């Protein structure tokens, strides 16, 4: 029943569901250029409304004392995040920035902590909700009445899982040849709060329900607590699947008698790694640590804390990731197989509570430095590379969502590999995911009990 439509037809995906759900977008210029806040509400410009971010590079925000029962993603969210990237000012290359005025259009509301999304060939959209549901969003009829309501339908077939803390049903991705191999892939947490694992499963979607649910990967080791599961999915151009796994949690969570976060440097476990799997869950024979004694053969890169933004450039195959730091020290990295990204040997992160540096060093030979470092925390989740969309000036740019910051950041990378964080779009809820839709527009999922799907539409006349 699934067919392919013209992917450039903006009418095939998403429709408005009522009024704008939030008040605006902030635009930040590059390297000290504080852009005017472009704020659009139903086409009107109003710079007085809340939600506009006029971020001043170099400004700082002090974090207030933080309750220990909050997750690290949630800590500090009572502060208004400002853009104060500290590591890139000297390295910012002159990049031509062409701010594009975009209008946020709320496509759907009522999503319970949505986590990931994947478009079916017919332009409808599958959305995961962390408590353990898959919602199928179908545009309303194009009946000329304007903004017909979309419909959300819960798709049965997800088995019981551990929905607690940061865990639950997380990412979703279609097989890259979905029309021939109609598998839908998921990440999720399973087990109990005392012993749980990040898993990957695939299932078939027959247009009504999920069938043939198959667990194709499980972390070899269980951990306790409900933090740091990962768990993004991204397909490489060779149709192998990358999966990010978190380091297992903050202190005092332990493993083998030591802090579990140290497992990010241990090739003998899956914690704090990016894995590469074949579509059936088997291990590609050319993975970097295949045959190395004591190393898990699924490992593709390591030294990660908790990657929740993972994207493969469809034009170049380059792999990009954003990962959470601890009280700052969030990172944007370019990933390559076999590389060590340093956590927790090198980091800009600080311990929750004491504020002590987690490592005295932020860089060491042999460990890959981040291209960007965010302090205060963006709490990054969701990442996409914009290609061949409706806004040509965004070609090849990256868009990173942020939970704590409640933002999407536009990132450019120049020909010498230097990255710059050039523009900020502010929202009124935590941003869990950002993706490019088949209509060539950006879509944003917000992490809330009443979460939203928001589409960013270019204003007429924008470049
Ligand atoms: Ca790092």
Does 430 score more than 90 pLDDT?
yes
The predicted pLDDT at position 184 comes to: 98
* Rg value, the chain, Cα: 21
Cα(342) to ligand 1 centroid in Å equals 5
Looking at the chain, the whole-number percentage of residues with pLDDT higher than 90 is: 73
- Angstrom CA distances, 73 to 77, 306, 427, stand at 8, 10, 16
Q: Which two tokens stand for residue 51?
A: 């939600």
**Residue 425: per-residue pLDDT:** 96
Instruction: State the DSSP string of 234-276.
Output: EE-TTS-EEEEE----STT-EETTEEGGGGGG-TTS-TTEEEE
- pLDDT score, position 309: 98
Q: How far is the CA of 88 from the centre of ligand 1 (A)?
A: 15
**pLDDT of the residue at 100:** 80
User: Is residue 74 predicted with pLDDT exceeding 70?
Assistant: no
Q: Given 3-state DSSP classes, what are the helix, strand and coil percentages for the chain, each rounded to the nearest 5? A: 5, 35, 60
115's CB contacts (< 8 A; 6+ apart) are 128, 129, 130, 168, 169, 170, 171, 172, 432, 433, 445, 447
What does the pLDDT read at residue 151? Answer: 84
Distance 415 CA to ligand 1 centre (A): 22
pLDDT, position 177 = 97
**Which residue from 343, 316, 319, 346 is spatially nearest to 333, judged by alpha carbons?**
319
Residue 145: pLDDT band by 50, 70, 90 thresholds? low
> Is the CATH number 3.90.1170.50 carried by domain 10-61+75-95+107-458?
no
DSSP one-letter code for 140: P
DSSP for 35-92, please give it.
PPP--EETTEE-TTSTT-----TT---PPPP--TTS-TTTTTTTSPP-----SSGGG-
- Positions annotated as catalytic residues are 228
Residue 162 confidence (pLDDT) above 50: yes
- Average pLDDT estimate for 442-458: 96
Over residues 315-341, the pLDDT tens digits come to 999 999 999 999 999 999 999 999 999
**CA 320 – ligand 1 centroid, Å:** 13
Q: How far away, in angstroms, is 334 Cα from ligand 1 center?
A: 11
For ligand 1, the distance from its centroid to the CA atom of residue 426, given in whole angstroms, is 26
Domain boundaries, the chain: 10-61+75-95+107-458
Asked whether residue 224 carries a pLDDT value surpassing 80, the answer given is yes
Query: Does the structure show a pLDDT above 60 at 94?
Result: no
Q: Nearest 5°: phi and psi at 37? A: -80, 115
Q: Please, which pLDDT band fits residue 459 given cuts at 50, 70 and 90?
A: confident
Report the percent of the chain where pLDDT is more than 70: 76
């Amino acid at each position: 029943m699934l067919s392919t439509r013209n992917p450039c037809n903006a009418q095939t995906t998403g429709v408005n569901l009522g009024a704008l759900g939030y008040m605006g977008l902030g635009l930040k210029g590059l390297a000290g250029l504080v852009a005017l806040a472009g704020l659009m509400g139903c086409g009107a410009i109003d710079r007085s409304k809340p939600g506009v971010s006029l971020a001043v590079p170099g400004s700082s925000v002090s974090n207030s004392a933080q309750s220990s029962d909050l997750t690290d993603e949630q800590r500090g969210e009572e502060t208004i995040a400002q853009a104060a990237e500290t590591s890139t000012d000297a390295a910012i290359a002159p990049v031509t920035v062409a701010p594009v005025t975009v209008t946020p259009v709320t496509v759907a509301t009522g999503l319970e902590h949505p986590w990931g999304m994947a478009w079916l060939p017919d332009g409808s959209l599958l959305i995961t909700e962390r408590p353990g549901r898959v919602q199928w969003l179908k545009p309303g009829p194009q009946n000329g009445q304007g903004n017909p309501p979309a419909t959300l339908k819960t798709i049965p077939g997800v088995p019981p899982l551990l929905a607690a803390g940061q865990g639950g049903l997380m990412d979703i991705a279609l097989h890259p040849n979905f029309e021939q191999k109609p598998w839908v892939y998921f990440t999720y947490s399973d087990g109990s709060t005392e012993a749980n694992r990040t898993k990957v499963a695939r299932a078939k979607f027959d247009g009504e329900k999920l069938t043939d649910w198959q667990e194709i990967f499980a972390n070899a080791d269980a951990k306790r607590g409900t933090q740091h599961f990962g768990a993004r999915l991204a397909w490489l151009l060779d149709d192998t699947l990358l999966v990010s796994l978190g380091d297992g949690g903050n202190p005092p969570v332990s493993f083998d008698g030591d802090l579990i976060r140290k497992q990010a440097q241990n090739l003998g476990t899956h914690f704090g790694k990016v894995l590469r799997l074949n579509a059936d869950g088997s291990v590609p024979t050319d993975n970097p640590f295949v045959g190395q004694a004591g190393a898990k053969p699924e490992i593709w890169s390591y030294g990660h804390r908790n990657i929740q933004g993972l994207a493969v450039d469809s034009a170049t195959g380059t792999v990009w990731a954003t990962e959470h730091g601890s009280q700052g020290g969030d990172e944007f990295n370019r990933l390559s197989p076999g590389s060590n990204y340093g956590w927790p040997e090198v980091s800009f992160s600080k311990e929750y509570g004491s504020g002590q540096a987690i490592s005295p060093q932020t860089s060491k030979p042999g460990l890959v430095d981040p291209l960007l470092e965010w302090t205060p925390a963006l709490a990054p989740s969701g990442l996409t590379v914009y290609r061949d969309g409706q806004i040509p000036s965004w070609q090849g740019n990256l868009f990173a969502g942020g939970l704590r910051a409640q933002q999407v950041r536009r990132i450019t990378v120049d020909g010498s590999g230097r990255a710059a964080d050039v523009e900020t779009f502010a929202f009124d809820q935590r941003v869990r995911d950002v993706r490019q839709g088949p209509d060539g527009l950006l879509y944003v999922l917000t992490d809330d009990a009443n979460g939203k799907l928001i589409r960013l539409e270019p204003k007429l006349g924008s470049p």
